[in-house]
A and B are shown apart, each in its own frame.
Chain A
Amino acid sequence: MAVSFGSTELPETLTGTLRKAIRIQWITIGFLVMATTIVGLVLGNSQAMKAAWVEDLLSLAPPISFLLAVRISRKPPTVDRPYGFHRSIGVAHLVSATALVAVGAFLVFDSGSVLLRAEHPPIGSVQLFGQVFWLGWLMIAAMLLTGIPPIFLGRAKMKLAEQLHDKVLYADAKMNKADWMTAAGSILGVTGIGFGLWWADAIAALFISGNILWDGLTNMRGAIKDLTDVRATTFDDAEPHPLIDKVNSCLRDLDWVQDAGSRIRDEGHVFHVEAFIVPQSGADLSVEALEQARSKVSDLDWKMQDVVLVPVHQLPEYARP
């Protein structure tokens, strides 16, 4: 059964993909709740451990906002909301990216100040099963336990993000990368502390947090640009979306069209297309011809949510390919 996706329908093949994405986000939430509990119990005084914990907490933002946004975005447009509800994906992307930035900035500041003040992190003992041993061992075990699942979660999400053109999933995949990197860094840091290298922990945290902050800022920039109507880009914001060229050449191929250019913005999953058409001189511009052209563009891809055709004498500057 096809899933309604605003005013368009998701193709058969992608329905399963969306279901998979929803399932993986519920798994992520379950995993994160478990991980924050475990790490919270063995937190101690390691800087990197504390960082990993805050990180896990903030990692909840992308999956939650994804689940909310997917639910909202599927509602069909109404008189009140004529553009539909897909922008909720853009908002969720911004929320996720902001969470990433917050994690990165917090970690940079936190580990940086530890280094500057030359604080030596104390890690004491823990009593478990009648045995007293170093709390560091428990921390390493907790990090191994909570650090490995995000590798696979992130990888799966990256694939789904591309297929669904879902930037929230993309930001979340980056968040999962941040998760496992912090975990690996904490192991390195705590081991370093064990060797008496008090700075190992903070250096590891600083190195990783720089990486996270960068991912966060890149995503934040992408999210803000999408919300402020930048030309549509690929799911990773790497390049202009190839559909822009496809729309233009599809229209130019019509025999009554002399030239065509379009502006396309990303509504989140789906695109909003305004195509400008310069008809051949003397061409008879019938409503039929225009509607045909419109459905031809709509059929190009499931992402073509809204297509508006504007016949003009001359292409506007910004729509010239």
Chain B
Amino acid sequence: MAARRALLAFALFGTAALLAVLTGCASFPADPDGTLDRVRGGVLRVGVSHSEPWVRVLEETEPAGIEPELVQRFATTLQATIEWQPGGEEALMTDLEHGRLDLVIGGLTAESPWTDKAAITKPYAESRNREGKTEKHVMAAPLGENAFLLELEKFLLSEEL
């Protein structure tokens, strides 16, 4: 009896999940705060923290370096314009946590301690640091904005640095 009920529960949950997607739920996964929808055709707010050679925050012009270029191309795929916000890493992470930023870059690695404030992406590149250790380079997206995170990771993976 109990076993049949349990199996039924699994079957229900499984099909509910599948149906949800097959019946064309516009985006699955969805963002609780709608980040991807807002950014698409709108503004991508990016926090930048100086970290050579990944991010160079410049006085006169827009940020340069490997990561700003990547973000620039990502914004293009979403037809979004970028609003850069320079700052220290901690301040930027706090802004990201409270929804004032959509993305933070600054030579972050997979070892980043910010996991409770930001969703750390999959590594998009690897490098060796001065100690000869391999570093995996990542970006930081808002926590739980899974549609946006998935879109960003898909983009980063397709770039193949």
Binding site for B on A (CB under 8 A): 45, 119-125, 127, 132, 134, 136, 140, 144, 147-148, 151-152, 154-155, 177, 180-181, 183-184, 187-188, 191, 193-198
| Residue of A124, A147, A193 touching B121 (CB-CB under 8 A) | A124
Known: A45-B119, A124-B119. A195 touches B28 (CB 8 A): yes
- The reply to whether A125 and B157 contact each other, CB–CB distance below 8 Å, is yes
How far, in whole Å, are A148 and B119 apart by their CA atoms in the complex?
Answer: 31
- The reply to whether B14 and A122 contact each other, CB–CB distance below 8 Å, is no
| Residue of B2, B9, B116, B141 touching A184 (CB-CB under 8 A) | B9
- The reply to whether A184 and B149 contact each other, CB–CB distance below 8 Å, is no
- The reply to whether A122 and B122 contact each other, CB–CB distance below 8 Å, is no
Contact partners of A197 in chain B: CB under 8 A? 32
- The reply to whether A187 and B28 contact each other, CB–CB distance below 8 Å, is no
A-B contact pairs, 12 of them (CB 8 A): A123-B146, A124-B146, A125-B122, A125-B150, A144-B10, A148-B10, A151-B3, A187-B17, A188-B13, A194-B21, A196-B32, A196-B146
1/0 per residue, CB under 8 A from A, across B137-153: the answer is 00001111111011001
A-B contact count (CB 8 A): 102
| Residue of A132, A144, A177, A196 touching B154 (CB-CB under 8 A) | A132
- The reply to whether A191 and B17 contact each other, CB–CB distance below 8 Å, is yes
Q: Is B66 positioned at the interface, with any CB of A under 8 Å from its CB?
A: no
- The reply to whether B29 and A193 contact each other, CB–CB distance below 8 Å, is yes
What are the 6 tightest A-B residue pairs by CB atom distance, in nearest-first order? A120-B144, A122-B119, A196-B30, A125-B153, A194-B29, A191-B17
A120-B32, A127-B122, A195-B25 are known contacts; what are 10 more A-B pairs with Cβ within 8 Å?
A124-B121, A124-B146, A125-B149, A132-B157, A134-B146, A147-B10, A154-B3, A183-B10, A197-B32, A198-B144
How far, in whole Å, are A45 and B10 apart by their CA atoms in the complex?
Answer: 22
When C-beta atoms are compared, the residue in chain A nearest to B6 turns out to be A151
How far, in whole Å, are A197 and B32 apart by their CA atoms in the complex?
Answer: 6
Contact partners of A188 in chain B: CB under 8 A? 13
How far, in whole Å, are A152 and B6 apart by their CA atoms in the complex?
Answer: 10
How far, in whole Å, are A151 and B4 apart by their CA atoms in the complex?
Answer: 9
| Residue of A124, A132, A183 touching B149 (CB-CB under 8 A) | A124
How far, in whole Å, are A225 and B9 apart by their CA atoms in the complex?
Answer: 35
Contact partners of B29 in chain A: CB under 8 A? 123, 134, 136, 193-196
Q: Least Cβ distance of A311 to chain B in Å? A: 48
Q: Least Cβ distance of A6 to chain B in Å? A: 33
Contact partners of B91 in chain A: CB under 8 A? none
Contact partners of A134 in chain B: CB under 8 A? 28-29, 146, 150
- The reply to whether B14 and A144 contact each other, CB–CB distance below 8 Å, is yes
Chain B 115-148 residues near chain A, CB threshold 8 A:
116, 119, 121-122, 141-147
Which of B10, B13, B31, B121 has the largest number of chain A CB atoms within 10 A?
Answer: B13
Contact partners of A144 in chain B: CB under 8 A? 10, 14
Q: Least Cβ distance of A50 to chain B in Å? A: 13
- The reply to whether B150 and A124 contact each other, CB–CB distance below 8 Å, is yes
Known: A119-B143, A121-B144. A184 touches B6 (CB 8 A): yes
Contact partners of A154 in chain B: CB under 8 A? 3
Which of A125, A188, A193 has the largest number of chain B CB atoms within 10 A?
Answer: A125
Contact partners of B6 in chain A: CB under 8 A? 151, 180-181, 184
- The reply to whether B20 and A194 contact each other, CB–CB distance below 8 Å, is yes
| Residue of B20, B30, B144 touching A122 (CB-CB under 8 A) | B144
- The reply to whether A194 and B122 contact each other, CB–CB distance below 8 Å, is no
Contact partners of B141 in chain A: CB under 8 A? 122
